[in-house]
Amino acid sequence: MELETATLAGGCFWCTEAIFKRLKGVEAVVSGYSGGNFDKPNYEQVSSGQTGHAEAIQIRFDPKIISFEHLLDIFWATHDPTTLNKQGADEGTQYRSSIFYHSQEQKKLAEQSKKKMEDSGKVTRIVTEIVPFEKFFTAEEYHQDFYDTYKGANQYCSIVIDPKVKKLLEQFNSDVKEEYQHE
């Protein structure tokens, strides 16, 4: 199996991890930090907004099952790409919308996907940055698999992440792994 890597930032990494780990063809999703100018940042440093990192996820996926383009379709549908440095109540550069491309092909596909989304009329001006991938730093262990660990016991999960998962199930149910299809 030849896996590819995608690195996306769509606000809180707890939200994006919960979405993308549910998809067929996705083998792994790791929450972390990308796009900053500080090596080995921790959550407190990134949350201060001083490191330049975005909360991001790194996805390992099988392109024979789910394409990079389709991952981007789901990315656009499950976060707000029109708000600069903000997703819901989460504000700051660490919550920006970003596609960190790993190849010129990913850059081309990301630019085409963004244009297609803008031309669709579904959203106003997209502020998502499309920038070269440089480094990814894995977030602390307690951030990994946060939604599945704490759903039902954490208000953020109930108020913010549950609606995103519900939207995924409504709009992309055929792309969702069987064990998650009836959440």
Is residue 15 annotated as a catalytic residue, yes or no?
A: no
CA distance 58 to 130: 15
User: Alpha-carbon torsion 37, 85, 30, 112, what sign?
Assistant: negative
- 60 burial (CB, 10 Å; 0-12 / 13-18 / 19+) is middle
Q: What beta strand segments (E) does 11-162 contain?
A: 26-34, 54-61, 86-87, 90-91, 97-101, 129-132, 136-138
Exposed, middle or buried by CB within 10 Å (0-12, 13-18, 19+), for 145? Answer: middle
Which member of 9, 12, 19, 56 is catalytic? 12
Q: How far is 72 from 172, CA to CA, in rounded Å? A: 12
Count of C-beta atoms within a 10 Å radius of residue 122: 9
First-last CA distance in the chain? 29
For the annotated catalytic residues, the residue numbers are: 12
